[in-house]
Amino acid sequence: MQRRDLLKVASLAFLSTISYGAATSAMPSKHSKNSTLVNNKKSKPKVVVVGGGWAGLALAKHIKVFSEESDVILVEKRDHFVSCPMSNEWLVGLVDLEFLTHSYIDAAKNNHYTFVNATAIDVDREKNVLMTTEGEIAYDHLVFAVGIEYDYFNWTKEDKALEQRLRSEYPAAFVPGSEHITLKEKIKNFKGGNFILTVPKGNYRCLAAPYERACLIADYFKHQGIDGKVIIMDESNHIRIKDKGFSSAFEELYKDKIVYMPSAEILEFDLDKKIVKTDFDEIAFEDASFYPNVKAPAILEKLQMTRTTPFNRVEADIDQYTYKVKGTNNIYVCGDARPMGFSKSGNTAFSEGVNLAQMIADEIHGKKPVWKSPVTTCFSLLSTKPEREISLFTEYIYTKKGGMDFKNNITDEAWKTNGLGEAKVAYSWAESMYKNMFA
Ligand SMILES: Cc1cc2nc3c(=O)[nH]c(=O)nc-3n(C[C@H](O)[C@H](O)[C@H](O)COP(=O)(O)OP(=O)(O)OC[C@H]3O[C@@H](n4cnc5c(N)ncnc54)[C@H](O)[C@@H]3O)c2cc1C
């Protein structure tokens, strides 16, 4: 057997270990010959999706729906999925962890794509190869659906020690994982006093979630007889979404449990004394969860695929109609990592994943891809006994000047009359989304 043939066999062996639903371990390794094989011009169209969140899962599934002949590989650094939507409900014991947790292996098996449990670390744009901690993967189309990371810069500048303390002592719990568990323990063990939640400026992940979280924590304090207050320090001068519903709930349900502070940007943290300072106030706290600004993940920065937008310091640099990274013809970004002013939410990311899958399939089939608006549907629970909810639905249009506007915008903030029905719909929405992504 020739050396080249041997390499082919070795490559096939590697590929078979990542075929449908199989996961690989996390040791960095080099498999450059595999990518050469996969990248063969005669092979099927190869679509590689980095990030198994709401956008990535929708994409991986729907590429196979719209372009069955494609090989689809989903690269995700976590080995299982935990949902952020409904995690506020989990924090106060309304749903269990099983409701939120799902298997990437099942998602891949049921929807006929390949799951690779690895972290994407680099891209060779010339050769169309993605480098991961598990080896190299060739692509024809590469999508980054990598969500967001926290941007502590406005608070901490270059003070990494402060950033580290904020991350570990007062985690934001806006990406899934340990932070949520820590926050749940904080709520459970809270004995009284001020519990601070912050709402960042810019386009942050899930506009409604900090306000919903405040309501649910206040509701928990109320029912547990805890003499505590939730202080919402909002960097904006108004509630960013469903203003009527949230402000009436703060006023009517939680008058003695929630203090809403608009334009309350923290300028200084004294974590030893447990005090935060704004331009006007000094607030002492017993406990807190500090939610900083968000930004596009570091991998996109490293790959020089980012820019500053009016919303955030670092966001993906893509064309807003095609999702293509500027200067490339086959690398895309979608989901919360996108720079457009759409809601950074799961339903939006999911529908965008479906739309982009259609556009990539159209390219594969030689058709002209057409942009479609993503769809935002967002439910927020206000209270638990009885469960009351408010909701919002919207789509988007681009204006002639290239800006963005809302289309078919409907909000239902009448929680006293419609809230019971909304609450039921919220659980069914989550269930149907999980089913769509994993079953
Ligand atoms: C408390 C809370 C409540 C929310 N409630 C709602 C709600 O009710 N409704 C709603 O629609 N939305 C809600 N959201 C928002 C929703 O969770 C996000 O908008 C959604 O997760 C965005 O999907 P995404 O695919 O863009 O990003 P993500 O879901 O964050 O997925 C990104 C994935 O990429 C992976 N990744 C990142 N970098 C790499 C890499 N280099 N290599 C491999 N993998 C990588 C990550 O591990 C992650 O799994 C809520 C969020 C929070 C925090």
pLDDT in tens, 1-20: 343 333 333 333 333 333 33
- pLDDT the model gives residue 402: 80
pLDDT digits (tens, 9 = 90+) for 302-312: 999 999 998 89
In angstroms, the CA 240 to CA 199 distance is 9
Q: One fold for both 3-148+296-364 and 154-292? A: yes
**23-37, 59-73, 76-90, 135-149: range with lowest mean pLDDT:** 23-37
Q: List the CATH code of the domain at 154-292.
A: 3.50.50.60
Q: Is 176 in the pocket of ligand 1 (CB under 6 A)?
A: no
Q: Whose CA is nearest to atom 38 of ligand 1?
A: 146
Gap between the terminal Cα atoms of the chain: 43
If you count them, how many residues does the chain have?
439
Please spell the DSSP secondary structure of 141-193, one letter per residue.
Answer: EEEE----EEE-HHHHTT-HHHHHHHHHHS----SSSHHHHHHHHHHHH--SE
Instruction: Name the band, by pLDDT with cuts 50, 70 and 90, for residue 227.
Output: very high
* Mean pLDDT, rounded, of the chain: 91
> Given the CA of residue 119, which atom of ligand 1 is nearest to it?
42
- pLDDT the model gives residue 43: 76
**18-22, 272-276, 356-360: range with lowest mean pLDDT:** 18-22
| Position 41 pLDDT exceeds 70 | no
Whole-model pTM?
0.92
Distance 336 CA to ligand 1 centre (A): 7
Q: Is 85 in the pocket of ligand 1 (CB under 6 A)?
A: yes
Q: Whose CA is nearest to atom 5 of ligand 1?
A: 85
E-only strand ranges, 247-292:
258-261, 268-270, 275-277, 282-284, 287-289
Neighbouring residues of 384: CB distance < 8 A, sequence distance ≥ 6:
92, 94, 216, 219, 220, 223
Spans of all domains in the chain: 3-148+296-364, 154-292
Residue 31 structure tokens? 């498999």
Say whether 357 sits in a helix, a strand or coil.
helix
Nearest to 39 by CA among 116, 139, 113, 134: 139
What CATH class has 3-148+296-364?
Answer: alpha beta
Q: Is 241 in the pocket of ligand 1 (CB under 6 A)?
A: no
- pLDDT the model gives residue 42: 59
Distance 112 CA to ligand 1 centre (A): 22
Angle between helices 54-66 and 104-111 (to 10 degrees): 20
Q: Whose CA is nearest to atom 8 of ligand 1?
A: 85
Q: Is 297 in the pocket of ligand 1 (CB under 6 A)?
A: yes
